[in-house]
Every structure is written in C-alpha cells, then in structure tokens.
Structure 1
Amino acid sequence: MKSRIMYIEAKTSGLTGPARIGHVTSSKSGATLYYGGKAFCSLKGDGFKSNYYDVETGEHYWISGPRKDGKDALYATHIKPAIDDDARDEYWSKIRGHAPPESKGRR
C-alpha cells in the first residue's frame, strides 16, 4: 500500500484536539484510511467538524493533506501537531519546503 503524509486530528474533545502528522495508507478503493493501527471511514459529509470516524470506537477525526503554510487544523489553534519521526524530513522538505527546525534532543 502506498502511503502519504496527512494531518490527523482527534475531535472527541470538541472543535480542536490532539493532532499528528504521519504516513497514512488507504484501502484499494480509497474508502478506508489506516494510521497508527486504526482504520478510519469517511463520514461522507455527515460529520460535525469532522470527516472520518474510527471504525472500532466511532470517535470522529479531521484527516486532511497538510498545507505548505502549516495551518493544517480545521480551526486555528496554538497547539502544534506531533510529527512522526518517519515522516519528519519528508514533511518539512516536500510539504513545507524547507529544512526542519531544530528540536530539543535531535541532531
């Protein structure tokens, strides 16, 4: 399965929630997305401020392609998403268009 980097934000707590940026794969038909051991199906426009739900728990998520300007969240937030280590370099170079900022403990 081919993967692509996407923004994944949990909507269980309201309009904004914890978010991650990581490699997401999809089913052959594209109807189901997979990330972090979870399967997500589209709400097909029926979600309130969310577009996917976790198949196992029913929890809602906002999943989308990341933006060059870094404003990936559906609503503006000061909380920065965690970026998976295996997606960090590709995210910063191919999506954001520059080298990753220095982070604590990383060289």
Structure 2
Amino acid sequence: MFRRIMFVQLKTGFDTDRGPSWIGWVTFSRTWKTAYFQGRTLRRATGLGLFDANFYDVDTDEEFWVSGPKRDRSDTRYGAREPVVEDDAVDAYRAFLRGAPLPGGEGG
C-alpha cells in the first residue's frame, strides 16, 4: 500500500470542475488500481468511458478525479472553489507548496 497527498474532486452531479474537492492523504493498493479516501473505496476507471473522471466509488458509482496537487493551486480548471485541505494533511501540503517534495511520492 502506498500513501500520498492527493487532490480529489467529486464529479458526479456537478458541472465541470464545480464539485467539492479536497487535498488529503489517499492510500493506494499495490497495483495503483484502487484508492482509499475518506472511507471510500475508489476504483480506477480505465476503459469505462467516464467523462472527466479517473476513479469511481465502488459502492455509489460516484465519479472522482484523483491527481497529484499542483503547487500553483490550479487543481481545478474552471472552478472557483478552493479545495478543503484535510487537517492531517495541512503541514505536509504547506511544505509542498513552499517547494518540498510531494509527501508520499517516494513509493512510486
């Protein structure tokens, strides 16, 4: 299992890049095909024809975009909302914004 700071945005039910988003710790399976975030199990959505999403919740079928955060904070392309930074990720995320390596990037 690999754990790293990621940008996660809910896509289902919202216009492009208008859904709620978070910066937080995401745990990935050894194969990187499954991600665990906020008690959800997200499966990689390759070949499923999802629009603007790369993971889906295995229980609810909600679609998500999961990616590494950007230092310039341009994680959403069109949305004006800032992502919520989870409490346990604040210090590591601030260090990343100041130029430190992305926490958890050592695992692959």
The answer, yes or no, to whether TM exceeds 0.5 is yes
Cα deviation 1:50-70 (Å, max 9, x = unaligned): 111001100001111000101
Deviations 1:22-72 (A, max 9, x none): 000011111100011101111115210111100110000111100010111
Match of 1:54 in 2: 57
* 2:11 is the counterpart of 1:8: no
SS at match of 1:58: coil
In the TM superposition, what are the counterparts of 1:49-88 in structure 2 within 5 Å?
A: 49-73=52-76, 75-88=77-90
| Whole-angstrom distance in 2 between the partners of 1:34 and 1:4 | 11
TM-score (norm 2): 0.83
Structure 1 residues 40-49 or 63-72, which shifts more?
40-49
Runs of 5+ consecutive residues of structure 2 not aligned to the other structure:
100-108
Tell me the residue number matched to 1:33.
Answer: 35
Structure 1: how far apart are the matches of 2:42 and 2:56? 5
Provide structure 1 residue ranges, at least 5 long, that are not aligned to the other structure: 99-107
Alpha carbon RMSD of aligned pairs, Å?
Answer: 1.3
More deviation, 9-18/58-67: 9-18
- Alignment correspondent of 2:98: 97
Partner Cα separation in structure 2 for residue 62 and residue 2 of structure 1: 18
Aligned residues: 96
- Structure number with bigger Rg: 1
| Match of residue 103 from structure 2 | none
Higher relative contact order (CA 8 A, sep 6+): 2
Q: Which runs of 4+ in 1 moved over 2 A?
A: none
